[in-house]
Structure 1
Amino acid sequence: MHDLRHSHTSMLVHLGENPKMIQERLGHANIEMTLGTYSHLYPKQDLDLVKKVDQIN
């Protein structure tokens, strides 16, 4: 089950879906959980964007 969840999330990241939407879909209590778990899936050029999103909360 974990592999399916991770694959699904990987596809959403690859499609450029909003991390907040991914968080809600996964049922994580906060965006830090989602970004901490799946941030390795984001290309390096998107790291600044992830940091900005993290600062909003």
Structure 2
Amino acid sequence: NPIGLCVVELLKIEECLLTVKDLDALEGSPIIDIKPYIPKADSIPNARVPEWTLQGPKT
């Protein structure tokens, strides 16, 4: 079984339910993992990200 990977826009969070936009998957497909978008590790023009993703790791 192949595993897909895509970047989505998080629209809202309600308790344990995440609503996203642009997920490239079939209805009912399992979600294995969710990771934050880190601008330094990828390049999506005009991505809206939380302030903490723009800072380096704490040392």
Band of TM-score, shorter chain: under 0.3
TM-score, normalised on structure 1?
A: 0.27
Structure that is richer in helix per residue: 1
TM-score, normalised on structure 2?
A: 0.27
| Structure with higher RCO (Cα < 8 A, 6+ apart) | 1
Structure that is richer in strand per residue: 2
Look at both structures and tell me which one has the larger radius of gyration over its CA atoms. 2
